[in-house]
Copies of this chain bind each other. A is one copy, B any other.
Amino acid sequence: MVETARDDPRGRPAAERVQRPQARTTERREAVLKAAMNVFGARGYNKGALVEVAEQAGMTHAGVLHHFGSKEGLLVAMLKYRDGEEVAGVPARAQTEGPAFLQHLVDTVEENTHRRGVVQAYSVLSGESVTDGHPAHDYFQERFHILRAKIAGVLGEVSGSTDEQELIDAASSLIAIMDGLQVQWLLEPEAIDMPRILSRTIDELVDRLRATA
C-alpha cells in the first residue's frame, strides 16, 4: 500500500501527469522527437519552428506543447532521447571498454557517413549551444566533460601512459577532430574521408602516448 505516488509515470512528462500515460503515447512522443531531430537538424533550434515539428509528427503545434511543455523542453528531451539510442545501428548503451571503445568511435563515424541528418543536427546544435543562454549549453558542456574523461581513461589503458594532462589533451584533440571534421564534411562531403582521418589520428595518438609512457 502507501500509494507510492509515482512522480515519473514513464518518461519526462512536461504537463505533469497524475495517472499514467495511455498506450500509444510513447510512440507518439517518439514521433515528435524524431521530427524534432529532423527540423532542428535542418534549420537549427532557433529557426526550427514547432509547427513544422508538429506537422512531421502528424499533430498540431499545440499538441507538441502538450507533451513537452515548451520548445526548450522539447529540445532537452530530444537531446536525452538521442543519447539513449546513440546511432540506431550501433549498440548504443554498449559501454565498450579499452581498445574496443576506440574502434567503436571509428565505427560510429563510419555509420555517420550514411546519416547526414544526425551529423547535421549535432553540428548545428553544438555550435548554437555556445550562444548566450542557449538551452543546450549545459547539455553540451556536460557531454564534453564526460567524454573527455572517458576517452582519456581509455587512452591511458591502451597506451600505458599516466600523464593525466597529456591524456586529457589527447582526448580533447580527438573529440575536436571528430567534431571539426563533421562540419567540413557537411560542407564538402567528397573532400573529407572522416573514418580514414580519424583512425589514422587515433593510431598516431596512441603511438605518441606509448612513447612517453
Contacts and interface: CB of A to CB of B under 8 A. Distances in A.
A180 B176 contact: yes
Nearest to A138: B187
Contacts of A179: 176, 179-180, 183
Contacts of A131: 42-44, 47, 120, 124
Interface stretch (A4-12, A16-24, A54-62, A196-204): A196-204
Can you tell how many copies of this chain the complex includes? 2
24 contacts: A42-B132, A43-B131, A43-B132, A46-B46, A47-B131, A124-B127, A124-B128, A130-B187, A140-B187, A141-B188, A144-B188, A148-B191, A172-B181, A172-B192, A173-B177, A175-B184, A176-B179, A176-B180, A176-B184, A179-B179, A179-B180, A179-B183, A204-B204, A204-B208
A9 to B, nearest CB: 33
Contacts of A145: 188, 191
A50 B126 CA distance: 24
A161 interface: no
Question: Binding site of A, secondary structure by majority: helix, strand, loop or mixed?
Answer: helix
Nearest to A140: B187
Interface string A161-194: 0000000110011011111110110111001110
Contacts of A123: 127, 130
Interface residues of A, number: 47
A36 to B, nearest CB: 15
